[in-house]
Each structure stands twice: as structure tokens, then as C-alpha cells.
């Protein structure tokens, strides 16, 4: 849901865009990447410990959990919706995975996906078929998933442990070629997501719906089905992110994921995806997530700054980026 | 309560536009709230009595006052009041000691801060915006009090409330002047604001200043100050929405911003004012919460309040697509949410079940509200089915 205070601008002129407009668009799409590169270079020069392979893979590993969630969020936002439930669903997925691990590795992988996918399905159906605002529906989903989580964890008192001999632990703790498995999974997920969104008819439909839902509907595109799939994807990926986290920590931590939906939205927005839907890239989201993680890492490197600076810096950067995006959009329209 | 404010007619249409921009493409809800107010109309009747669903024929001098009829539409508009009454009745029957001064007092004290935030949120949602930063602003205001308590309670509270205004002005400027989407602008402020609150507040600090303690736990004629303040804010917001030029403009901007601009309304000023008011009210709620608990806890204070406030506004019948502010509905919505939580606590139903129940109630309430106006995507025009 986007309650845009700005009048929805007409699409940029449909003819051949001028060089200036093209540059502006490039900056809008890749602005976060520029900031990321500058930040990484500056941090490498400033701190000896930042550029070490160990630290960089650590950043990647920490980013992978949020990245998976933000990927699902990207799909939803591109349809012009929003999914506030991902934080709770992430936590629920983690607890379910840790609980199911006692029944085997496959159970630990499939149970959270089934439950979280079902939550996404119900939300998608209510939004797409019932015509309710995504903001409200997924807000209820946030409450619902958190409630279910408390129910199965005995009001948060129980922490399920993944059995020590379980192969499920390898999912996030194992590594391939010296790089942690979650990083590989993140890369694969984004590659698949990118192909689906930018190279398939489904992705084209997603962008069409986000661009102008009525027009997509009149063209005969399967609007409702596409939206439902987007919300199911978001639920599945949030659940999978939680599963990864459960494997990484070997337990189902009940207090995780609070505020994660906002981090995911921030990452998507930083990546140049418009909250009105219909524009953006999967790669941008990945850049947005990495940027947030780099900020966190740098704040930790400084040492004298406490972790609250991270929120201040992240929030400020978000505001600056969207301000610049607005300005670039104006340049494009000229 | 005269209608003298109505004398301040709108300024003439912006030059360069043909006069008589009759925008009929507006939201039917606007016309239900703003009686025929097309440019060039004679001053129409008193605002605020057009409660009915009678959509004003564009250009009609004054709306017909419909007789209230008990039908689905009536339920949709007043469902929140019916639900609240039913829940009170149920509690009177099944909850021991429900009807007692102590219970009533406690419930009102509990709901007061959320209600104050929800009223500010209702104004913002009326402009077709949303404010996610209210919880962070509450924490920020509460964190400022211990810092300045040395100068006396009044100064400390003033500074805290001013901080809320500054945050609101920042949000409003980003939204109105730069054109950032409300959800993004206030999201950024929420993240940054919570960080700032933690930075300046640090760990939990207790506040023992007598003035603050009195504000949090004192009463006047048996009514707690906190409740009195919430009631006063309710009356002021109701009056502002219903009887002032500002309220008129707010609803017009929320209903159709483009049309409001063409009609020469000061759209940017209205938007910024609204966010400033929302920030001010959030800061006030933060101060009251800190005063009640005699402590400021920047990490936990106001957490998820933005969601409670939005829920109260929406089940009170204010659509997320703007153009309407339902003050009485918002008050009933906040009371209903509070009473649901309380009822579940009275009967020892655990928190987890309470959350699931709340989720179902929110969906059901919005579904009923949307019976006539299906707005799949607030903020987009052209998605609303005509009535």
C-alpha cells in the first residue's frame, strides 16, 4: 500500500528518453550501488580489519537472512503492495524449523515453508480477491504470525533446540569453497528471483500490475493470481530466512524478526524500487541489504560508537536516498 | 460553536486555470464529509451534519439530511460503536467486578496515550498519508524529559513536545515539498528517531520529579489527569476537523490533492501542519506514558504503537485512502481495541491467543468497512468503485 502524497505522476514520456533522462534513470537505479562501493572503499582504507576476507564473508553471512526476506518483499512491492508480516513470519519459520528438527532434516525444511507459505497464501487471497488494502491485511498477518509463534512456544518461554547430531545444522553452518552456505543460497535465490522478475512473463505481469493495475486488468493479465503468487513467495522466503536463522543459531529464538519488515522495506527502497510499484530491480534490493549491513559493520568497527548510531545512520541514508530519487524522477520527467 | 469559520471562504482559484474546476472525479466519501463545496458555491450549511451516505450532487447548495436507516450501510458506518456496546454488555454479564470505578479508571488510563496518538494518526490518514514514526517520537519525547528535568517539569515537557513538532515538520516537509511517499519518509524517521532516542536516553532512567509524578498519577475531581488530557485532545481534534477551515482543507486535500491544488488551497501548508500536529500528539503521549511509569525506556516505550494507532483509526471507519476523518470512530476504535485486550486478560486468555483474535477482528472490521468502497490500493485514484 502506498498512500502517496505526491500526485501520481504520468509515466515518463513514452518516446525515446533524452540522454539526461537516461542518466537520471541510471542514477536512480544504481545510486545505492555507488554509495555501497564508496562506503566499502572508504571503510577498507579507514579500518585495517574491514577489508579482510573474514570480515567480508561475515558481512555476507549476516546479510543473507535479511536478503532472502527482502527478495520476497521486492516481489510484493513491485505489484504495488506491501508485506508487513515478514518479520513475524521469519520468527515463526525459525521456531517451526527448530521444533521440527527433532523429526528429521526434511521436516525442519518443509514445515516452516508449508506454514509460512500458507500464511502468504491467505494474505494474498484476502488482498487480491477481497480487495482489502495490503497494509492492513499484512498488519493483521504480523499480529497473527506472532500470536501463533507464542502459542507454539508456550508464550515465548520455550526455546526449541536443534538436536546436536541433526544434519539440519549444516544448512547455515556449512560452507562451500570456504564461503558459508547461506551466502551461496542468497546468490542462488537472487539469481532465480532476477530471472523470474526480469525474464519471464510472470515478472512482466508483476511490473504491469505495479505500473497500472487497471490497465493490466483490462489487458486480460491474471492480476489476482499474480498478486497471490507474490504474497506466497514473500511468505515462503520469509519462512526460509527464519529456517536459515534457526540452522545458524541451532535454536528457535522467539524474539527475532521484530522490525525486520521495516529493514526489508528500507533495503528495497534503497535499491531503487519505487513503493508505488512497477519499477525496480532485484539486484538493487541486494545492494540495499548489503549497504545496511556495511553501515552496521562500520559502526561496529569504529568501536567508540554504540550500535544505536547504526539506526540513526541507516534512517538518515534512507531519507537522503529517497529525496535524491524524487529529484531524479523530476529530472526524468523534464 | 458558530459557523463563522465558514465565512472564510476559499481563496480564488489559481490563475491560469479556468474557473469552475468541477472535479466530479473525486472520492464520494469527500462529498459525504464536505457538503457541496464546489468553487463558487454560496456558503453551504454547517459542516459536520452530513453524516449520512447521501452523496452530494455536485453543485447542490446544500446536502439533504438523510434519515438514518438501519441497513447494511448504517452498520458499516457505525459498526465500531455497535461492537463496542456489545463488548461492554458481554463484559457486564460475564466478567465479575467489571462494573466498578476501578476497572473503568484503569481502562481509561490504559487507553489514553494510544488514543492521543490515534487522533493524530487519524488526521494524517485523512490527508491520504500515514505516519510510522509516532512510536519513535514517543520514545524520543520520553527520553528528553530526564535530560531537562533540572529546569523544572514544565520546561522539560515543553522541550519534549517541541521535539515531536520538529520531527513532524521534517516528515511533512519531505512529503509535501519533496514529494517523498509518506510511508517511506516516516519509516526513515522511525528508524532514525528510535536510534536518536536510544542515544540520548541510554538506559532506563527513572523520573521522580513531583510535577511529572503528579501528571502521571494525579487526579482532578476523581478523573486522572491523563484521561482529562486525552478527552481534551479528542474535543480539540473533533472541533478542528468539523468546524474549522483547516479541517475542511485537510479533508479536501486528502480526498483529491490535485483538485485541492487547482482550487488554490495551500496544500503543502495543510500537509506539513497535519504531520506537525501528529508529531506533537505523539510526543504528548510519550510524555504521559513516561509520567505514568515514572521512567523513560527509549528501547521499549512506544514500540508498535504506530500499528495500534493505525488499527484504531481504520476500524473506526476512516479509510486509508484519505478524504475522511472520523474522530468519534477513532475514539471508539481505540476503546474497542483496549477492551478486547482487557477482556482477554480478565479471563486469563494468553497473549498469543489475544494477538490472533486481534488479527481476525482487524480483517473482519476492514472487510465490513469496505463493503461499498473497494480501494485495493489507497493512494491510487481510479480504483474505487463508484457507489
The CATH number given to whatever domain includes residue A221 is: 1.10.3470
pLDDT at B18: 38
Neighbours of A286 (CB within 10 A): 26
Q: Is the pLDDT of residue B59 over 80?
A: no
Is B304 within a domain?
yes
CB-based contact (8 Å) between A2 and chain B? yes
Q: How many domains does chain B have?
A: 1
Judged by CB atoms closer than 8 Å, whether chains meet at B383 and A2 is answered as: no
Question: Are B30 and B324 spatial neighbours (Cβ–Cβ below 8 Å)?
Answer: yes
pLDDT at B122: 93
Query: Which residue blocks in chain B are alpha helix, DSSP H?
Result: 28-33, 72-94, 101-126, 134-148, 153-173, 182-201, 210-217, 225-243, 245-255, 257-262, 267-293, 305-315, 327-346, 351-369
CB-based contact (8 Å) between B321 and chain A? yes
Mutate to test the interface with B, among A3, A83, A87 (most CBs of B within 10 A): A3
pLDDT at B75: 67
CA A296/CA A36 separation, integer angstroms: 13
CA A152/CA B44 separation, integer angstroms: 58
Judged by CB atoms closer than 8 Å, whether chains meet at A322 and B179 is answered as: no
Q: Are strands B223-224 and A179-180 parallel, antiparallel or unpaired?
A: unpaired
User: Sorting pLDDT into bands at 50, 70 and 90, what band is B61?
Assistant: low
Is B2 within a domain?
no
Q: With contacts defined as CB-CB under 8 Å, which chain B residues touch A215?
A: none
* Most trustworthy range by pLDDT among A222-231, B19-28, B113-122: B113-122
Judged by CB atoms closer than 8 Å, whether chains meet at A1 and B320 is answered as: yes
Secondary structure string (H, E, C) spanning B10-35: CCCCCCCCCCCCCCCCCCHHHHHHCC
Question: Higher pLDDT residue, B236 or B311?
Answer: B236
Judged by CB atoms closer than 8 Å, whether chains meet at A326 and B178 is answered as: yes
User: Sorting pLDDT into bands at 50, 70 and 90, what band is B365?
Assistant: confident
Question: Higher pLDDT residue, B196 or B203?
Answer: B196
pLDDT at B147: 80
CA A169/CA A244 separation, integer angstroms: 9
pLDDT tens sequence across B22-49: 333 334 443 334 443 333 333 333 333 3
Query: Which residue blocks in A153-222 are alpha helix, DSSP H?
Result: 170-173, 181-199, 201-211, 213-218
Q: With contacts defined as CB-CB under 8 Å, which chain A residues touch B176?
A: 5
Question: Higher pLDDT residue, B302 or B34?
Answer: B302
Range of the domain at B322: 112-382
User: By mean pLDDT, which of A234-248, B67-81, B85-99, B344-358 is the weakest?
Assistant: B67-81
CA B303/CA B45 separation, integer angstroms: 43
User: Sorting pLDDT into bands at 50, 70 and 90, what band is B371?
Assistant: low
User: Sorting pLDDT into bands at 50, 70 and 90, what band is B354?
Assistant: confident
Q: How far is CA A163 from CA A172, A174, A298, B109, B227, in A?
A: 15, 16, 35, 47, 52
Q: Provide the grid cell at B148.
A: 531537562
CB-based contact (8 Å) between A146 and chain B? yes
CA A20/CA A232 separation, integer angstroms: 39
Is B107 within a domain?
no
pLDDT at B14: 38
pLDDT at A166: 67
User: By mean pLDDT, which of B70-74, B104-108, B159-163, B213-217 is the weakest?
Assistant: B70-74
- The mean pLDDT value for B354-364 works out to 79
Q: How far is CA A103 from CA A159, B43, B114, B128, in A?
A: 16, 74, 44, 49
CB-based contact (8 Å) between B369 and chain A? no
pLDDT at B164: 93
- The mean pLDDT value for A86-99 works out to 88
pLDDT at B187: 83
Judged by CB atoms closer than 8 Å, whether chains meet at A5 and B196 is answered as: no
pLDDT at A29: 67
Is B106 within a domain?
no
Q: Is the pLDDT of residue A307 over 80?
A: no
pLDDT tens sequence across A7-50: 444 444 455 667 777 777 777 667 777 778 888 888 888 777 77
Is B35 within a domain?
no
- The mean pLDDT value for A281-302 works out to 83
Question: Higher pLDDT residue, A164 or B107?
Answer: B107
Is A34 within a domain?
no
Judged by CB atoms closer than 8 Å, whether chains meet at B352 and A306 is answered as: no
- pTM for the model stands at 0.76
Q: Is the pLDDT of residue A229 over 80?
A: yes
Share of chain B above pLDDT 70, in %: 75
pLDDT at A305: 67
Q: What size, in residues, is chain A?
A: 334
DSSP state of A103: G
Q: Coil, strand or helix: which one is B155?
A: helix
Q: Provide the grid cell at B376.
A: 485495493
pLDDT at A21: 74
pLDDT at A253: 74
Q: Is the pLDDT of residue A6 over 90?
A: no
Q: Provide the grid cell at B330.
A: 477513532
Is A278 within a domain?
yes
- Å from B101 to nearest chain A CA? 31
Q: Is the pLDDT of residue B234 over 90?
A: yes
Neighbours of B387 (CB within 10 A): 11
pLDDT at B55: 44
pLDDT at A190: 87
CB-based contact (8 Å) between B174 and chain A? yes
Q: With contacts defined as CB-CB under 8 Å, which chain A residues touch B359?
A: 140-144, 147
Provide the sign of the torsion angle of the four alpha carbons A91, A96, A101, A105, taken in this order: negative
pLDDT tens sequence across A310-325: 778 778 878 887 788 7
Q: Provide the grid cell at A265.
A: 522495506
User: Sorting pLDDT into bands at 50, 70 and 90, what band is A94?
Assistant: confident
Q: Is the pLDDT of residue A265 over 90?
A: no
pLDDT at A168: 67
CA B331/CA B325 separation, integer angstroms: 12
- The mean pLDDT value for B108-115 works out to 90
B316 — phi, psi (to 5°)? -75, 0
Give me the residues paired with residue B295 across strands: B206
Q: Which of residues 200-239 of B touch A (CB under 8 A)?
A: none
- The mean pLDDT value for B124-132 works out to 90
Judged by CB atoms closer than 8 Å, whether chains meet at A5 and B350 is answered as: no
Side-chain-side CA neighbours of B138 within 13 Å: the count stands at: 30
Q: Provide the grid cell at B167.
A: 520531527
Range of the domain at A197: 56-298+306-333
CATH number where B302 lies: 1.10.3470
Q: What size, in residues, is chain B?
A: 387
Neighbours of B345 (CB within 10 A): 12
- Å from B289 to nearest chain A CA? 22
Q: Mean pLDDT in chain B? A: 75
Q: What burial class does residue B222 get, using C-beta atoms within 10 Å of its C-beta: 0-12 exposed, 13-18 middle, 19+ buried? A: exposed
CB-based contact (8 Å) between B345 and chain A? no
Is B273 within a domain?
yes
pLDDT tens sequence across A172-200: 667 777 677 888 888 888 888 888 888 88
pLDDT at B384: 36
Which residues are within 8 A (CB) of B30 and not within 5 positions of it... i.e. 6 or more apart? B251, B252, B254, B255, B256, B323, B324
CB-based contact (8 Å) between B278 and chain A? no
The rounded Cα B101 to chain-centroid distance in angstroms is 27
Q: How many domains does chain A have?
A: 1
- Residue among B375, B365, B380 nearest B77 (CA): B365
Is A23 within a domain?
no
Q: Is the pLDDT of residue A68 over 60?
A: yes
pLDDT at A119: 92
Is A154 within a domain?
yes
The b/e string for A183-209 (b: 16+ C-beta within 10 A; e otherwise) is bbbbeebbeebbebbeeeeebebbbbb
Share of chain A above pLDDT 70, in %: 84
- The mean pLDDT value for B132-145 works out to 90
Question: Higher pLDDT residue, B47 or B269?
Answer: B269
pLDDT at B275: 95
By C-alpha distance, the chain A residue nearest B350 is A155
Q: How far is CA B367 from CA A82, B12, B68, B332, B354, in A?
A: 18, 40, 22, 18, 20
Is B227 within a domain?
yes
pLDDT at B62: 58
User: Sorting pLDDT into bands at 50, 70 and 90, what band is B278?
Assistant: very high
Is B217 within a domain?
yes
Amino acid at each position: 500500500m502506498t498512500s502517496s502524497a505526491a500526485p501520481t505522476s504520468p509515466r515518463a514520456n513514452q518516446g525515446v528518453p533524452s540522454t539526461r533522462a537516461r542518466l537520471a534513470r541510471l542514477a536512480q537505479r544504481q545510486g545505492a550501488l555507488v554509495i555501497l562501493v564508496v562506503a566499502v572503499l572508504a571503510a577498507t582504507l579507514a579500518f585495517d580489519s574491514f577489508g579482510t576476507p573474514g570480515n567480508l564473508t561475515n558481512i555476507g553471512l549476516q546479510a543473507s537472512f535479511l536478503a532472502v526476506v527482502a527478495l520476497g518483499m521486492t516481489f510484493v512491492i513491485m505489484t504495488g503492495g506491501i508485506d508487513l508480516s515478514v518479520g513475524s513470519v521469519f520468527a515463526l519459520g525459525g521456531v517451526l524449523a527448530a521444533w521440527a528438527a527433532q523429526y528429521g532434516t526434511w521436516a525442519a525444511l518443509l514445515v516452516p515453508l508449508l506454514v509460512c507459505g500458507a500464511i502468504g497464501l491467505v494474505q494474498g487471497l484476502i488482498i487480491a480477491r477481497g480487495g482489502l488494502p495490503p497494509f492492513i491485511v499484512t498488519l493483521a498477518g504480523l499480529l497473527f504470525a506472532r500470536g501463533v509463534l507464542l502459542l507454539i512456544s508456550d508464550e515465548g518461554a520455550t526455546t526449541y533446540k536443534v538436536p546436536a547430531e541433526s544434519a539440519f545444522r549444516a544448512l547455515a553452518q556449512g560452507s562451500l569453497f570456504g564461503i558459508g552456505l547461506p551466502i551461496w543460497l542468497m546468490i542462488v535465490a537472487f539469481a532465480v528471483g532476477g530471472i523470474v522478475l526480469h525474464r519471464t512473463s510472470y515478472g512482466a505481469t508483476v511490473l504491469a500490475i505495479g505500473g497500472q493495475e487497471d490497465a493490466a486488468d483490462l489487458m486480460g493479465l491474471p492480476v489476482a493470481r499474480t498478486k497471490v503468487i507474490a504474497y506466497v513467495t514473500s511468505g515462503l522466503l520469509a519462512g526460509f530466512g527464519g529456517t536459515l536463522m534457526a540452522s545458524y543459531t541451532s535454536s528457535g529464538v522467539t524474539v527475532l524478526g521484530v522490525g525486520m519488515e521495516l529493514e526489508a522495506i528500507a533495503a528495497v527502497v534503497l535499491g531503487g524500487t519505487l513503493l508505488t510499484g512497477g519499477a525496480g530491480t532485484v539486484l538493487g534490493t541486494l545492494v540495499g541489504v548489503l549497504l545496511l549491513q556495511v553501515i552496521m559493520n562500520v559502526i561496529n568497527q569504529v568501536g567508540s560508537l554504540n550500535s544505536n548510531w547504526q539506526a540513526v545512520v541507516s534512517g538518515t541514508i534512507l531519507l537522503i536516498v529517497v529525496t535524491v530519487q524524487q529529484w531524479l524522477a523530476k529530472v526524468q520527467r523534464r | 460553536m458558530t459557523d463563522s469559520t465558514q465565512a472564510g471562504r476559499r481563496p480564488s482559484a489559481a490563475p491560469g486555470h479556468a474557473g469552475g474546476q468541477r472535479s466530479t472525479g473525486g472520492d464520494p466519501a469527500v462529498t459525504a464529509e464536505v457538503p457541496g463545496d464546489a468553487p463558487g458555491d454560496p456558503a453551504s450549511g454547517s459542516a459536520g451534519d452530513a453524516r449520512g451516505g447521501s452523496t452530494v450532487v455536485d453543485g447542490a447548495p446544500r446536502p439533504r439530511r438523510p434519515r438514518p436507516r438501519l441497513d447494511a450501510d448504517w452498520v458499516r458506518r457505525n459498526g465500531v460503536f455497535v461492537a463496542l456496546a456489545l463488548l461492554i454488555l458481554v463484559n457486564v454479564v460475564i466478567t465479575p467486578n467489571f462494573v466498578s470505578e476501578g476497572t473503568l479508571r484503569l481502562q481509561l488510563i490504559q487507553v489514553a496515550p494510544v488514543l492521543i496518538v490515534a487522533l493524530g494518526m487519524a488526521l494524517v490518514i485523512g490527508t491520504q498519508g500515514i505516519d510510522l514514526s509516532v512510536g519513535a517520537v514517543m520514545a524520543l519525547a520520553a527520553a528528553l524529559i530526564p535530560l531537562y528535568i533540572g529546569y523544572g517539569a514544565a520546561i522539560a515537557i515543553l522541550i519534549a513536545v517541541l521535539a515531536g513538532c520538529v520531527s513532524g515538520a521534517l516528515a511533512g516537509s519531505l512529503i509535501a515539498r519533496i514529494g517523498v511517499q509518506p510511508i517511506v519518509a516516516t519509516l526513515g524517521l522511525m528508524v532514525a528517531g528510535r536510534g536518536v532516542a536510544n542515544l540520548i536516553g541510554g538506559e532506563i532512567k527513572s523520573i521522580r520529579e513531583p510535577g511529572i509524578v503528579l501528571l502521571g498519577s494525579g487526579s482532578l475531581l476523581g478523573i486522572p489527569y491523563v484521561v482529562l488530557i486525552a478527552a481534551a485532545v479528542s474535543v480539540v481534534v473533533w472541533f478542528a476537523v468539523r468546524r474549522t477551515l483547516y479541517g475542511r482543507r485537510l479533508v479536501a486535500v486528502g480526498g483529491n490533492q490535485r483538485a485541492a491544488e487547482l482550487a488554490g488551497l495551500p496544500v503543502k501548508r495543510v500537509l506539513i501542519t497535519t504531520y506537525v500536529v501528529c508529531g506533537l500528539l505523539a510526543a504528548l503521549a510519550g510524555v504521559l506514558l513516561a509520567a505514568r511509569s515514572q521512567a523513560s525506556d527509549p528501547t521499549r516505550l512506544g514500540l508498535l504503537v504506530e500499528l495500534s494507532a493505525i488499527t484504531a483509526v481504520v476500524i473506526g471507519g476512516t479509510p486509508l485512502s484519505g478524504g475522511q476523518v472520523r474522530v468519534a470512530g477513532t475514539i471508539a476504535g481505540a476503546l474497542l481495541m483496549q477492551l478486547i485486550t482487557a477482556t482477554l486478560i480478565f479471563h486469563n486468555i494468553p497473549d498469543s491467543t489475544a494477538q490472533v483474535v486481534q488479527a481476525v477482528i482487524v480483517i473482519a472490521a476492514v472487510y465490513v468497512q469496505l463493503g461499498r468502497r473497494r480501494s485495493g490500493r489507497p493512494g491510487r485514484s481510479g480504483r474505487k468503485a463508484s457507489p
